Structure 1
Amino acid sequence: MTSPPSLSARLAALCLAPVGRHARERATLHILDWYGCAAAGAATATGAALWTGLMLPGRPGEAADPWHALLFDAAVGNILEMDDIHRAALCHPGPVIVPAALFVGRRLRAPGTAVLDAIVRGYEAAIRLGRAAGAGHYRHWHPTATCGVIGAAVASASLLELSGPATAHAIGHAATRAAGLWQVRLEPNMAKAWHNAHAAQTGVQAASLAQAGATAPAAILEGEKGFFAAMCPGADPHAVLAPTGDWQLHDTSIKPWPACRHTHPAIDAALVLRERLPGRQDPPARVDVATYADALGFCDNPMPRNPAEARFSLQHAVAVTLLHGEPGFPAFAPEMLQEPTVAAWRARIGPSLDDAAQQAYPAHFGAALTLRWGDGRVLEARLADARGDPERPLAPQAVAAKARANLAAGGWPPARTDTLVAHCLGLPMTSTPISLPHIPLPTEVLLS
């Protein structure tokens, strides 16, 4: 009797389906968004440290080409917390899958359409795995790396034109190396970026191994010592193959602000209430932020010590938004953390669990914000989804504007930015080899 196909084989077959123009056009926005996020991330002290640390040991300034370029590209896309996210998968696909696909595409001189197809397929694999891995996995593991590595493998396999069985082996090789521990978010450090770099490189190498005929465990996902058994308590492996109406790329959110996505519903609600505030001279006595448990677990931090912690602070994000409007990079700079008025407002903000938001999570990221004055006045706003989610998507023009602003913040000159934007948006019509650049290291640290 023939054994039924493994989960990795069925996932590979599903992801290798034909990709249409609509999905390709959406993928161009995620490439453009990644470029902006990565260029800005490269302009930080973390970016500079990674650039140097990824050089050949004992040979400062000598790059381990070509892997150095891929590792750096993948490392910097998440540093400033502006990268895309799939809510139900709790995964940021872009920082891992986009640089991996571009790397392989350049090496193969692949046309733009092939690179876009690879990205769509890579997102599909990572997101489906993340949805199945569930909350038990998210408790200790970083899904952007653990699931992103498999997305990078599928994207690379797509560009290498591997068969379904060979792509299943690429998935197997990637899954055996899946890693990324959440201790990185509990103390000041730069290691989270290394998760993404490792995942992108491993995904590319996994597909290369499969192309060479190297085999991997067929049951690496569902086996008794496989991915779900070892890393995902309470997982639903069958969710990997659950029917969906469209490619999962279309259900992926693009962030408008440089902060952890768990803060964004509260930021959005703060923007709503800011329009109704009586003024800074009449501050509320208390600000209540009610949201879901993971937002509290990741972002309940009333006294952030540095910009990285500020990007994971509900109190800081809401305070600067109520005071200054839409939060850009300056909202999380050291000067803003130390600003007395911001600190005073942070102290008034109390996060709590909201039952409605918790029940909707992770399919929806919601929050309620309530401002209370001592004389009994109350202002309230509740949002079920944040700006940039599929229910409230950013227009293509807004994505391009975000990318342009981030590229400028990363030191890119306007002419170079114009060329990049035009090239990205033209990829669905491109049959010639792609010529999109790697992320360079700016000459100085521009962002914190």
Structure 2
Amino acid sequence: MAEHPAYPVGLRLTGRRVVVLGAGQVAQRRLPALIAAGADILLVSPEATPSVEAMADAGEITWEKRPYAEGDLANAWYALIATSDPEANTAASTEAERNQVFCVRSDDADQATAWTPATGHSEGVTVAVLTTDARGRDPRHTAAIRDAVVAGLRDGTLVAPHHRTRTPGVALVGGGPGDPDLITVRGRRLLAEADVVITDHLGPRDLLAELSPNVEVIDAAKLPYGRFMAQEAINNALIEHAKQGKSVVRLKGGDPFVYGRGMEEVQALAEAGVPCTVVPGISSSISVPGAAGIPVTHRGVAHEFTVVSGHIAPDDERSLVDWPALARLTGTLVILMGVGTIGKVAETLIAHGKSPDTPVAVVQEGTTAGQRRVDATLATVAETVRTQEVKAPSVIVIGEVVDVGPKRHA
């Protein structure tokens, strides 16, 4: 038997009897998948790990607290033999052979009639990896192959195009703060499967280089606006391409719903009858300070943090921010899009009671190769930003947390 490779097959065990002998670590690892497969599971073992016992208490398996006995495998479709008693394992394996029940043996794979593959899952696909040569079985190598394939499918580095008809639509993907490794696994996979990608200048640009040459990449800043506002033109482009039957990804920086106007796009798509999936992203409001060594909260220093858009100055009648209330808060204030208005912001906060000595850090191009951090105080930040020629995109952090960790200037 060892001279021939195992024949791979997927067992459909829903409602079918599966017998598990032994309730140690092996059973603990294998039982969840059997439960998920809908099997009717009989567990035979005098003792069980707490996790296995919890499965029995929850009614997911039937547990008979005793050793194996002849006849336990009657009417079984599949068996997992994993007791600590070699004689019992051999007897059960013999019964399985006699009754034509495929069985796995944890103690002696050569005497088993089935092997458990290293398995993983990604978006409705199960990856199962088996060693073809019984004499050279290497479970760690098999598991490593499984992990590599599943990781590739999840993050989009291993592209497996769908050949059946896909439902056209739009995925609104948050690309994270800039480092291409900080996009979510789902976002990267959807990006790899896209027919059209509509991006903006804050989306992680390095990811675009990984796309297939047949993917149409559209820079939102270069769309012909004509009589439309910029956002209207973007909405129209999303709708137009989706209605052509294409899979469209709208790649945005940070998170789509944190100053990303993502809901406007969702609403436009809904009105046009175009299905939309929202994939959250890591917001720069917390990730960029973290990358610069600044926690937005810290025990005994800040119990809250507030994220504010600084694109409109405090003295502008269009501002919706209650700046006097912000000045009274004792936690962390994170300002996005505030490089051009930081002078007015600092003046307003000081005027309403914030100490001029409050620490401030400005982090430019956070998480990217061009990241740099500039430190100041509320009293000096406007001049510091000017003399240091700080540019957007930058995240401004105001509060005592700025001085918690080591300052890293670059």
More strand by share: 2
Larger RCO (CA under 8 A, 6+ residues apart): 1
- Flag the structure with larger Rg: 2
TM over 0.5: no
TM-score scaled by length of structure 2: 0.20
More helix by share: 1
